[in-house]
Amino acid sequence: MRFRYSLTTRATPEQAFTAFTDFGERRLDVWQKTLDPAKYEVRERGENWAVVREGSAGVRIWVLLRYEWQPPGTVRWTLLDSDHCAAGRGEVRISPGPDGGSRVDAEIDHRRPRGLRGRAILLAQRLIGPVAFPRMWRAALDRVAAAGG
């Protein structure tokens, strides 16, 4: 399952990049609508990488991702493990947008579902993700811009 989407946000490229690459406690605040604190666990972290377990609230889905980033605006992740999928990767490219904000281009590719449940989750993500993910990400990034951080 591969899908791409783009969004614009009032967050500057620096603010957006920081939002995607900050794996401290602030991450739970920035992504509060999409990240379940009970599933969030930073397992390893380096200067330009992190291995993180994440999941959304209200659903029994989790992923273990290795994030890698390169300033000023590229963030990539590789799926190391999950409860529904055996392989996957993603990428976010952040560039200056209109009116001082940012444009965020994302590509997500999850493959090899695990069982019938995995197939159902990937199908739902393919159908809902291209609409829901940009909305959720824009809202989070716009909150960052409004807070000035």
Q: Where are the domains of the chain?
A: 6-147
What pLDDT score does 111 carry? 83
Residue type for position 84: H
- The pLDDT value recorded for residue 136 is 95
CATH topology of domain 6-147: Alpha-D-Glucose-1,6-Bisphosphate; Chain A, domain 4 (3.30.530)
How confident is the model at residue 2, as a pLDDT? Answer: 83
Residues 104 and 143: their CA atoms lie apart, in Å, by: 15
How do residues 86-105 score in pLDDT, each as one tens digit? 999 999 999 999 888 999 99
Question: In degrees rounded to 5, what are phi and psi of residue 29?
Answer: -75, -50
Q: Is the pLDDT assigned to residue 149 strictly greater than 90? A: no
Torsion angle in degrees (nearest 10) through CA of 20, 78, 37, 57: 100
Is the pLDDT score of 1 beyond 80?
A: no
Rounded alpha-carbon distances, angstroms, from residue 101 to 16, 47, 141 = 9, 26, 10
SS3 letters for 48-86? CEEEEEEECCCCCCEEEEEEEEECCCEEEEEEEEECCEE
Whole-prediction pTM: 0.93
Give tens-digit pLDDT for 45-57: 999 999 999 998 8
